[in-house]
Amino acid sequence: MAGAGLTHGGFYSYFNSKSDLYAEVLGCFFTDPQWKSCWEGVHVDLSSTDVGSQVVRAYLSRQHYEDIENSCPMVALPTDVARSGVRAKRAFETVFRAMVSVLERSLPQNGSRRRVTAQGIAAISIGGMVVARTIVDRALADELLGSCMALALNLGGWDKKAKTANAKPRLSRQRRLVPS
């Protein structure tokens, strides 16, 4: 509130509750053209046929990891939203569904499994970033992000070099997976 130049009481003249604030933030992530939803040096072409792999690489990138201020609200707010009202949860769900839709359309045709796979990739990407940001050991956080990226790319069929879905990337490979 201090950063916005508002008092606690001033907050409630704009929002009825924190839940309303969360819903607004989540809604802005994809709809407000002024919202900074790209991280420096990371760009995603939403019209590209390989948008899924671009989303995974961007989401689990070092730039997203380090740019907490402009982080995706699905990473920054999940525990707050879980304790919030229906409006915030629906807004979170809308953003999650949008992410799944983007991932799903770039998956190889394999029937109804596309949606299930896209949901799993989205959850791995969001959860991986949430957990990485809670780890003090930067090397372990980088390793986790690299592992999540390798797994998500493998699930999407976007990394044909991966031999198994649960293969652990080597440290040298992690540095290539998580852009610096």
Query: Could you read off the pLDDT of 90-110 as tens digits, one per residue?
Result: 888 888 988 898 899 889 876
- The tally of domains found in the chain comes to 1
CA-to-CA dists, residue 157 to 8, 112, 137, 174, angstroms: 49, 16, 30, 18
Residue 145 within a domain: yes
pTM exceeds 0.75 for this model: no
Mean pLDDT in order along the chain per 10 residues (180 residues): 69 69 65 57 78 92 88 81 83 87 85 88 96 96 97 90 40 35
Residue 135 within a domain: yes
Domain that holds residue 109: 8-177
Q: Which residue carries 């493998």 as its tokens?
A: 154
Residue 112 within a domain: yes
Domain harbouring 139, CATH code: 1.10.357.10
Look at residue 146 and give its three-state secondary structure.
helix
**Burial (Cβ within 10 Å: 0-12, 13-18, ≥19) of residue 96:** middle
Q: What pLDDT shows up at residue 18?
A: 67
Residue 152 within a domain: yes
Residue 115 within a domain: yes
Residue 3 within a domain: no
Nearest-angstrom CA–CA distance, 64 and 168: 22
Q: Are 44 and 58 in contact (CB under 8 A)?
A: yes
CB atoms within 10 A of CB 149: 24
pLDDT in tens, 129-138: 999 999 999 9
Residue 1 within a domain: no
Q: What pLDDT shows up at residue 91?
A: 82
Q: What pLDDT shows up at residue 144?
A: 97
Nearest-angstrom CA–CA distance, 54 and 48: 9
Nearest-angstrom CA–CA distance, 6 and 108: 49
Q: What pLDDT shows up at residue 151?
A: 97
Residue 2 within a domain: no
